[in-house]
Amino acid sequence: MEQRNEDGDMDMEIENPDCGESPQPSAAQQQLHLPPGGEQANCSPMDSVSTLVSQYFGGQRPPPNEVPSLNYMNQHMQLFHEAPSQACSMPHEPLPSRIPISKSLIKEGYLMKRGEHIKNWRRRYFILYQDGTFFGYKVKPKTQKEYLQPLNNFTVKNSKALFMDTPKPFTFLLRGLQGTNIVDRMFYVETNAEREAWVNAIVNVTNMHKSSGECPATVSTASDAVEPPELPRNKVSLSDFEMLKVLGMGTFGKVVLCREKASSNLFAIKILKKSVLIEKDEVIHTMTENRVLQTCRHPFLTQLKYSFQTEDRLCFVMEYVNGGELYFHLLHDRVFSEERTRFYAAEIVTAIGYLHDMNIVYRDLKLENLLLDEMGHIRIADFGLCKEEMQYGVMTKTFCGTPEYLAPEILDENDYGRSVDWWGLGVVSYEMMCGRLPFYSRDHEILFELIMNDSVRIPANLSSQAQDFLARLLIKEPSRRLGGSTLDAVDVMRHPFFAGIDWVKLTKKEIPPPWKPEVRDACDTRYIPDEFLREPVQLTPPAAPGPVSASGTRWPTDGPNFEKFSFYGSRTSLSSYMSSTSMGDH
């Protein structure tokens, strides 16, 4: 099953989908979020990836077969008829245009580096420069061009080097910061003298920059931050709402069904504790979610009405969608028909295409994040893992998502782009039509190897169009994957699986859904688990100010971390978006 090349890296296998059964899921799925360099601060460097699983809203859940019982459109629709090829660049992390090899080089040589997500050892040639740059290559570079194309682009500024004798003799650990997370990178050599030489060199460079007064550098200079424009700050508070029922609970807070006193309208308010967000280093992701919700208006995305903060909490006032999660319904039905899957997948495609057109990659497509409204239309929820400023060709490398849905390029420690969302569409479409995940293991290490190396097995009872649709979405090479070209969502829409779909009517919600939730009225909560509905709606008193983050930083809950959070109105109304969406016949 496992394939490795000569220096321990996982080799990729391009699959030829065939028929047959894949391993049956048998454990709860969990959401995984890691910084792009390894373990979080409170984990031992020897911990496996599976011990680093953290939960966001909605806890663990078993796979379905284990439970008993558009402006965007207007711009691109002409591509259904014509698809001109376009050249594009794929930038990686910024690198200098020229490396002064002799002058700034401090130390170089081969090191054994442990994989940051798949915990095997890889032989790499590392070069440490006076400015703190720490480049790694598969082999020793011989030309200027090779010097400018490292596999690893680290810095040792503001880091610590630690001696260790496990898991191998003569091991050392390079510990630094990624944002506010502590990141560990592990290396070993053949002798203690080699280890001391490397550690001394790293410490000397680190101290050099401390003494020179330079600002501390982090492990990665990439930033998820995109500041939104200022908005009017009309006062809204929790006292403006009557709390009715708890809809969901998680590590960071709860979601409560509320009635706005002034309008009597129902909303779902996501109430998060600032102290826990800071302690778990989730401030950046929460602010990203807020910006995305403020900016995006699409018929198949959950909509934000307000966002505001109290002394100790952040509050997202969202439209209340009471048709239940697709996961809940798949538990009941075991499998969806191709017709039903096609409808849901088509609405997902238009929403993901819209996000991509807004230069946003979603990165967390899974059944739990796909809700149904009272009519049976899709609403994508939970935007905490979105990445902004992701135009076509722009790449990122943050290791985040839900294990069973991670694309191979994320696991292979490569830079990745928009194609990860189309892999996610392939996984959820497979689940809907097959009633199980395409790749599964209780052990996340084994699961990741299956995703990277195993061929997907597609049941023969599916139509040829459905088989080809799944096979092309689950291609491991992102550039060959359906949707991986410059056409993006249009490439997916043109697949024969969607033949006959009127995309204009679909986006305007003029196509009747194949199934309508059985809800009596807007207050109906029959699709919400009883365990949440039994919880009290009261909020606990504020925690003591100044929580300590995982990186050891003490932040006040009312400080600059949550500036520009509050939002009191729509930037782009849904009606104006719909009126501007005119795709024509196709």
pLDDT, one tens digit per residue, over 230-253 is 333 467 889 999 999 999 988 889
| Phi and psi at residue 270, to the nearest 5° | -90, 115
CA distance 14 to 3: 13
C-alpha distance from residue 332 to each of 68, 141, 171 (Å):
8, 57, 51
Detail the residues annotated as belonging to a binding site.
Answer: 270
Q: 113: closest CA among 191, 8, 259, 11?
A: 8
Per-residue pLDDT, averaged over 2-25, amounts to: 35
Q: Which of 148-162, 271-285, 500-514 has the highest mean pLDDT?
A: 500-514
Per-residue pLDDT, averaged over 381-401, amounts to: 92
3-state helix, strand, coil in the chain (%, to 5): 30, 20, 50
Asked if 4 contacts 369 with a C-beta cutoff of 8 angstroms, the reply is: no
pLDDT grade for 165, boundaries at 50, 70 and 90: confident
The average confidence (pLDDT) of the chain is 76
pLDDT grade for 151, boundaries at 50, 70 and 90: confident
Asked if 585 contacts 78 with a C-beta cutoff of 8 angstroms, the reply is: no
Q: Which residue has the higher pLDDT, 156 or 557?
A: 156
CA distance 187 to 115: 10
pLDDT at 78 over 70: no
**Rounded (10°) angle between helices 464-473 and 419-434:** 140
pLDDT at 182 (0 to 100): 62
Least confident range from 98-112, 195-209, 260-274, 332-346: namely 98-112
Asked if 432 contacts 326 with a C-beta cutoff of 8 angstroms, the reply is: yes
CA distance 19 to 461: 9
CA distance 565 to 185: 34
For residue 33 the two structure tokens come to: 């979020």
In one-letter notation, the amino acid at residue 151 is L
Residues 6+ away with beta carbon under 8 Å from 400: 32, 33, 34, 363, 385
pLDDT at 578 (0 to 100): 34
For residue 131 the two structure tokens come to: 């400015």
Per-residue pLDDT, averaged over 386-390, amounts to: 93
pLDDT at 561 (0 to 100): 59
pLDDT at 292 over 80: yes
Give Cα 303 distance to the centre of its chain. 19
Per-residue pLDDT, averaged over 469-491, amounts to: 97
Q: Which residue has the higher pLDDT, 413 or 38?
A: 413
pLDDT at 543 over 90: no
| CA diameter of the chain | 75
For 118, half-sphere exposure in the C-beta direction (CA atoms, 13 angstrom radius) is: 25
pLDDT grade for 131, boundaries at 50, 70 and 90: confident
Cα 293–Cα 304–Cα 300 angle in degrees, nearest 5: 75
Domains in the chain (CATH in brackets) are 32-89+324-507 (1.10.510.10), 101-211 (2.30.29.30)
pLDDT at 269 (0 to 100): 96
CB atoms within 10 A of CB 134: 24
Q: How far apart are the first and last CA of the chain?
A: 45
Beta strands 313-319; 400-401: pairing state: unpaired
Whether cis (ω within 30° of 0) applies to the bond prior to 167 is yes
- In the structure, how many helices (H) and strands (E) does the chain have? 16, 16
Asked if 417 contacts 394 with a C-beta cutoff of 8 angstroms, the reply is: yes
- Quick one: what percent of the chain has pLDDT higher than 70? 69
Q: pLDDT tens digits, residue range 316-340?
A: 999 999 999 999 999 999 999 999 9
For the entire predicted model, the pTM comes to 0.61
pLDDT grade for 84, boundaries at 50, 70 and 90: very low
pLDDT at 491 (0 to 100): 96
Helix (H) or strand (E) holding 31: none
Q: 408: closest CA among 50, 117, 120?
A: 117
CA distance 188 to 173: 9
Radius of gyration of the chain (CA): 25
pLDDT at 26 over 60: no
Catalytic (active site) residue 364: yes
**Beta-ladder partners of 133:** 155
pLDDT grade for 281, boundaries at 50, 70 and 90: confident
Give Cα 244 distance to the centre of its chain. 31
264: left (phi over 0), alpha (psi -120 to 50) or beta: left
The residue from 281, 364, 382, 421 that is catalytic is 364
For 228, half-sphere exposure in the C-beta direction (CA atoms, 13 angstrom radius) is: 20
In one-letter notation, the amino acid at residue 38 is G
Residue 239, judged by CB atoms within 10 A of its CB (0-12, 13-18, 19+), counts as: exposed
pLDDT grade for 177, boundaries at 50, 70 and 90: low
Report H helices in 212-282: 274-279
pLDDT at 154 (0 to 100): 86
Asked if 468 contacts 439 with a C-beta cutoff of 8 angstroms, the reply is: no
pLDDT at 394 (0 to 100): 92
Residue reference for tokens 């440490």 = 128
Per-residue pLDDT, averaged over 403-412, amounts to: 95
CA distance 230 to 156: 37
Least confident range from 75-79, 447-451, 563-567: namely 75-79
Q: pLDDT tens digits, residue range 248-270?
A: 988 889 999 999 999 999 999 99
Per-residue pLDDT, averaged over 367-388, amounts to: 96
Per-residue pLDDT, averaged over 455-472, amounts to: 98
Beta strands 133-137; 181-188: pairing state: unpaired
Detail the residues annotated as belonging to a binding site for ATP.
Answer: 270
pLDDT at 495 over 70: yes
For 20, half-sphere exposure in the C-beta direction (CA atoms, 13 angstrom radius) is: 9
C-alpha distance from residue 270 to each of 129, 278, 279, 303, 307 (Å):
47, 17, 19, 12, 9
pLDDT at 496 (0 to 100): 98
